[in-house]
Amino acid sequence: MKAVFLITEFNNVITGFLFEDNRLTEIYPFNEESILGNIYAGRITNIVKNINAAFVEVEKGLSCYYSLNDNEGHNIFLNNKKNDKPVVGDELLVQVTREPVKSKKYEVSAALSLRGRYTVVNTTGKIGISSKIHDNKRKSELKDLYVEFFEENREYSGFGVIGRTESEKAGNEDIIKETITLLCKLKEIMRTAKYTECPKLLYSESKNYLSEISHITGYSKYENFSIITDIDDIHETLISENSDKDAPYDIKLHDDTLISLKSLYSVESEVEKALKKKVYLKSGAYLVIEPAEALISIDVNTGKAVKGGIQEEHLLKINLEAAKEAARQIRLRNLSGIIIIDFINMKDENNLKVLKDTMESYLARDSAKAYFVDFTALGLMEITRKKIRKPLYELFK
């Protein structure tokens, strides 16, 4: 798959646009004000028993949601405790894992992690390998590599790692070198936290294009990946950052004065289409996408795609086309939570399996964790996708 990542100014914000095979797939506003990924020494200011959650102040006047269920047994207390029960006034080490959505606050977690090009280190104590690596032999080699590393380096006991997609083709020495660097940084953050006043920022994850590029190239395997920008400073930084590395992408500066980068790739019209309720397919069918408070609904309509008699094979063809576009729209619009897709009804169980397998293959390309759950009793497809950033319709109202 060929991919192009544009970096340009859009609505007065430096924004990244990811095109896969010439189709806009994801949008990344580089919001330097976001605290997503930051690690804080925070203080519990309130506990709400009916939702089993605490609110942790990470900056003066800024409290974040902290699930007591999800973090039970994993709390990282900075004050002396005789038990693991959080109470008001307790000091915790937390990381921001979700941005605020509508009326919801930022969410923080005791599961800390730092991300590199090949590895993610964390405090879970578990070893995992990216599901996007399909070479089982290499997956086994990577797991053995990490197991051996922790056996030989007991000072990192209790920490965990995840081998990222890009580790598949990386050298083992480079992987271990990066892993040690990240683990040392995480250990230092945890050590420093014990002697600091709360609330205090201990680690700030870069929100700029460099971290997003690392993230994109880390989860996706592209046959050809290039970056194009029309901003001189960004071009110079990218060249400088990769001067002594084997960068997995080409870097180009768009300096054509006759046509802008946004016009060349029709960025404005693409964003405008991504904010509309209807999405038309080549077959004549169309999707209707409607975000609601509790879930997102996507309705597949045959439109002009059905003429005369309706054959099961023809319905499958329309549904597969709709599945591909629905998966793209979910990424493009950054939809999350519970997503219900009402495909055209099919009676053949084998066709339903083909539709399920196809959708799962598209969801596997997503940068956020997205899963096929099941078909409901009414034949609706249920999908869940992790909430991280704000959806597109909130960013560009």
Give me the domain span that covers residue 344.
275-395
Per-residue pLDDT tens digits for 101-153: 766 788 999 999 998 888 999 999 999 998 878 889 999 999 999 999 999 99
Phi-psi sector, 241: left (phi>0), alpha (psi -120 to 50), beta: alpha
Tell me: do 151 and 242 sit in the same domain.
Answer: no
374 and 318 within one domain = yes
pLDDT computed for residue 116 by the predictor: 86
Q: What is the pLDDT of residues 162-189, one digit of tens each?
A: 998 888 888 999 999 999 999 999 999 9
Do both 329 and 386 map to the same domain? yes
Number of folded domains that form the chain:
4
**Are 281 and 262 in the same domain?**
no
Does one domain contain both 356 and 281? yes
CATH code for position 104: 2.40.50.140
**Please, are residues 297 and 290 in contact by the beta-carbon 8 Å criterion?**
yes
Whether residue 298 contacts residue 339, with contact meaning beta carbons closer than 8 Å, is answered with yes
13-20: strand order across its sheet: 23-29, 13-20, 2-10, 224-229, 250-253
Quick one: 333 and 353 in the same domain? Answer: yes
Regarding whether 390 and 282 lie in a shared domain, the answer is yes
Same domain, 251 and 351: no
Residues 6 or more apart whose CB falls under 8 angstroms from that of 61 comprise none
The position carrying tokens 């991280």 is 388
**Bridge partner list, 93:** 41
Does residue 348 sit in the same domain as residue 382? Answer: yes
Q: Please report, for residues 226, 229, 268, the alpha-carbon distance to residue 263 in angstroms, rounded to integers and kept in the order given.
A: 18, 13, 8
Residue 164: which CATH number?
3.30.230.10
pTM over 0.85: no
Last-in-domain residue among 69, 94, 111:
111
pLDDT of residue 312: 80
Do 226 and 245 lie in one domain? The reply is: yes
Residue 257 has pLDDT above 90, yes or no: no
Q: What is the rounded CA–CA span in Å between residue 229 and residue 224?
A: 17
pLDDT at 60 over 70: yes
- CATH number assigned to the domain comprising residue 221: 3.30.420
Confidence at 208, pLDDT banded by 50, 70, 90: low
